[in-house]
Amino acid sequence: MNDSKSRLWLSFGVAILSLSIAGVLSAQVGRHQGITEPNIADEKELMKLPNLNPALVKGIVERRPFANMAELHKFLSPSLDSKQLNELYTKMFLPINLNTASREEIMLIPGMGNRMVREFLEYRPYTAIAQFRKEIGKYVDDKEVARLEQYVFVPINLNTASDDTLSSIPGASPQLIRTVKDSRPYKDMEQFRREIAKSVSAKEAARLERYFVIN
């Protein structure tokens, strides 16, 4: 391969890598490693999860979208003991808002202890998942940071979020991203609800709303 072709392929590779890195850095929702999102999973997916029976699966589907993990836990805890819940939460979890989640809600993350909860709270407010990785990485290794980030998100600014950031929302479609961008700027969440209702159902709008903030 001559020098000009080599330089061309090198430039192409650098561009692809830069786009990939930009996507990771702009993400506001932690990268999942197979954890099921209970607000969007279908009944077949939910039935495969540990300790869920048909009655619980039906209850999840009927009650969703859950506004937060604490609400889902309140529904499940009368039927499952702490060991069963912990086992389930390693496979299914509703990401928690890093900036507003209570201490009790953070403790629902499997493997959490009081010390790590303090570290989660210490660095508020978070502006991006990249900040979470950096700060929590002071206390645990990369593998544990990757495990923990599956359970969290940082609120996304409706008026400034990029396509990459918007696409990090579980279940976000290209149509949703276009609708969000076309309706900017947003003055309040009521305006968001009106605009998003043109593209999705009321339940889907409620599911998505938890990921957004207006700054």
Contact 72, 66 (CB under 8 A): yes
- 96-154, superfamily in CATH? Photosystem II 12 kDa extrinsic protein (1.10.150.320)
55 contact partners, CB below 8 Å, separation of at least 6: 79
CA 214 from centroid of its chain's CA atoms: 17
Residue 185 has pLDDT above 90, yes or no: yes
Quote the pLDDT of residue 33.
84
pLDDT for the residue 133: 96
pTM metric for this prediction: 0.84
Q: What is the mean pLDDT of residues 88-116?
A: 97
Q: Where are the domains of the chain?
A: 33-94, 96-154, 156-213
Average pLDDT, the chain: 88
Q: Which two tokens stand for residue 175?
A: 């149509």
- 36-54: pLDDT as tens digits: 999 999 999 999 999 999 9
Amino acid at the residue 90: T
CATH topology of domain 33-94: DNA polymerase; domain 1 (1.10.150)
Distance CA(150)–CA(112), nearest Å, equals 13
CATH topology match: 33-94 vs 96-154: yes
Angle formed by the axes of helices 202-209 and 189-196, to 10°?
Answer: 140
Using the predicted structure, report yes or no on whether residue 215 has a pLDDT greater than 90.
no
